[in-house]
Amino acid sequence: MTTPALLPLSGRRIPPLNLGPPSFPHHRATLRLSEKFILLLILSAFITLCFGAFFFLPDSSKHKRFDLGLEDVLIPHVDANRGAKNPGVFLIHGPDEHRHREEEERLRNKIRADHEKALEEAKEKLKKSREEIRAEIQTEKNKMMKHAWDNYRIYGWGHNELRPIARKGHSTNIFGSSQMGATIVDALDTLYIMGLLDEFRDGQKWIEDNLDFSVNSEVSVFEVNIRFIGGLLSAYYLSGEEIFKIKAVQLAEKLLPAFNTPTGIPWAMVNLKSGVGRNWGWASAGSSILAEFGTLHMEFVHLSYLTGDPVYYKKVMHIRKLLQKMDRPNGLYPNYLNPRTGRWGQYHTSVGGLGDSFYEYLLKAWLMSDKTDHEARKMYDDAIEAIEKHLIKKSRGGLTFIGEWKNGHLEKKMGHLACFAGGMFALGADGSRMDKAGHYLELGAEIAHTCHESYDRTALKLGPESFKFDGAVEAVAVRQAEKYYILRPEVIETYWYLWRFTHDPRYRRWGWEAALAIEKYCRVSGGFSGVKDVYSSTPTHDDVQQSFFLAETLKYLYLLFSGDDLLPLDHWVFNTEAHPLPVLHLSNATLSGNPAVL
Ligand code: DMJ
């Protein structure tokens, strides 16, 4: 299969799509899509038609069409012979029996007609060339991304995020006071993966011409690392375009002053111009946050790999060594650590906000090192064992949840953010201690189920920011301030990992439900917006299209409905913002050909 025609940009050509195993050192080898993939595409086309519409259809009539298809496939139908075979199940007599038979007949006819129609459409489809079929499927699968991107392009270009209702740019303090095009950088690899190459080139051009880090602006070290450095590195590895690597390194240099603290634990924020750092005013006793200083490892190791400069690697290894030496109450890592004293702040532990991606990066450091970083794997295993012992419980109704540890007390509340852990447990199953792979896969599935319940128990079928397990209350938000959904990815992320590891169709079904709900309640004419109350059937929008919606939510949805050979997990490791980075084969200790670096 040929790769899409690529127009030159700034005198260069974007290299062909390379979404299978990465190639080193410059990642420019063409990946030929296998025959198997082509067959899968044709099969996908057939399924598309059987379902009535494949993916992300904008108008409600098409949704209805899909809903019917989905019901036909997923809801067991009345078998005409079943009453006879199972007396007692359908013992209906008199006029009721007549009505019942008529209803059965009507249903059968409808199924037959739907299937015949789908077959006809499939036959028509198969007359088309592979390229045409592929293009059609792509167009359907890209629709949500196109809507999000196109509106940002029109109304928010260069701003960090978009207000889809006010139709103007938007930003928050994590990005500082400058227009740094966060959505462009965060969305780049999603565009590339989806084959939206005109849009990708447009973003690249903006970055080449406008992205400047010498600004007097105070940014979040963590957010800028996961969204900008992660996004740029991923765009570099996928496309091979040097500009992304150059920008990633320029930005990383600007973050380095944040590590100038008495302990080497970085400040939460740094001014890109002056290099002055400080912590969030709300953090316990001037502390830095575990999920922030503990979520730098992947990107920083890649920076050392690409530049040959050990400085980045040393910074994150220093953090790890320091954490290893510290006492941990009940084996748990508290969320707060003071960068001046090196002492823990409040004894709060969470797998959701403030803790989450620290655990994720321990596991991913091991995966990214081609499973040679045993120290990281040990830290992950130890942490997960303590979490399972103290934080993971079953509700009265049998739902497994991850609570929050607060000064020796377990708060039975789970955040949407913690739902990513279902995917993490599944991803970490292989290689777990005492061969507990089955156990961790099951635990991941239980978390996925609980998080799906948190969606299913709402009016909008979208999950709240956080939900409780308290007596009769199960997987439901109680406080008004916890009922919002801001286009977060974690639940869909977990569905995708679970799908990759089990191929259980429920995960695609659940992902599809979420996609439909987002289409129905979050889509507005100027993009996609979060909603303020998922329990109200008439949603109020928050008027923010978060950059992570394009980086993560839409990417995970796309991957959920793609084949496993698109970004295989034994070759790519996704950073916490869903930016794929290749596994590094560092066993011979070379970073960019420099054995001294490690
Ligand atoms: C993302 O920016 C990242 O996934 C981060 O780790 C925490 N959550 C947001 C999206 O919800």
- List Cβ neighbours of 23 (8 Å cut-off, separation of 6 or more): 29
**Predicted pLDDT of residue 107:** 87
pLDDT of residue 557: 98
Q: In b/e form, how buried is each residue of 455-491, taking b as 16+ CB within 10 angstroms? A: bebbebbbbbbbbbbeeebbbbbeeeebbbbbbbbbb
How many residues in the chain? 598
Could you tell me the pTM of the whole model?
0.83
3-state secondary structure of 278: strand
Omega of the bond prior to 25 within 30 degrees of 0, cis? yes
Atom of ligand 1 nearest to the CA of 420: 4
| pLDDT recorded at residue 95 | 62
Ligand 1 contact, 576 CB (< 6 A): yes
Q: 400-402 and 269-271 as β-strands: parallel, antiparallel, unpaired?
A: unpaired
373: CB partners within 8 A, 6+ apart: 365, 366
Q: What is the pLDDT of residue 20?
A: 81
In Å, how far are 151, 335, 458, 467, 470 from 478, measured between CA atoms? 34, 24, 12, 7, 10
Q: How many CA atoms lie within 13 A of 351 on its CB side?
A: 32
pLDDT, residue 387, reads: 98
From CA 589, how far away is CA 598, in angstroms rounded? 6
Per-residue model confidence (pLDDT) at position 17: 53
Give me the residues of the chain with pLDDT under 70, please: 1-18, 23-95, 587-598
Catalytic residues: 465
Give tens-digit pLDDT for 90-147.
344 556 777 888 888 888 888 888 888 888 877 877 788 888 888 888 888 899 999 9
417 lines ligand 1 (CB under 6 A): yes
The vertex-521 CA angle with 199 and 69, nearest 5°, equals: 90
CB of residue 364 inside a 6 A radius of ligand 1: no
SS3 of 527-548: the string is: EECCECCCCCCCCCECCCECHH
Q: How far is CA 93 from the centre of its chain?
A: 53
Fill in the DSSP letter of residue 518: I
Ligand 1 centre distance from Cα of residue 564 (Å): 24
Query: Residue whose CA is closest, atom 3 of ligand 1?
Result: 577
**DSSP strand E in 446-512: where?**
466-470, 473-476
**Nearest CA-CA partner of 468 in 476, 480, 459:** 476
220 within ligand 1 shell (Cβ under 6 A): no
Please list the residues that pair with 169 across neighbouring strands.
162
Ligand 1 pocket test: which of 221, 226, 228 has the largest number of ligand atoms within 8 Å of its C-beta? 226
Residue of 293, 576, 579 to mutate, ligand 1, most atoms within 8 A of C-beta: 576
582: alpha, beta or left? (left if phi > 0; alpha if psi -120 to 50): beta
- Pocket probe mutation, ligand 1, options 190, 357, 466, max atoms within 8 Å of Cβ: 357
Separation CA 162–CA 158 (nearest Å): 10
* Tokens linked to 578: 């869903």
- Three state DSSP letters for 134-164: HHHHHHHHHHHHHHHHHHHHHHHCCCCEEEC
From residue 302, alpha-carbon distances to 297, 312, 507, 550 in Å are: 9, 9, 32, 23
CA of 521 to the centre of ligand 1 (A): 21
CA 589 to ligand 1 centroid distance, Å:
31
What DSSP character marks residue 303? H
Least Cα distance to 281 among 358, 352, 218 occurs for 218
Q: Which residues pair with 218 in a beta bridge?
A: 271
Is 357 touching ligand 1 by the criterion CB < 6 Å? yes
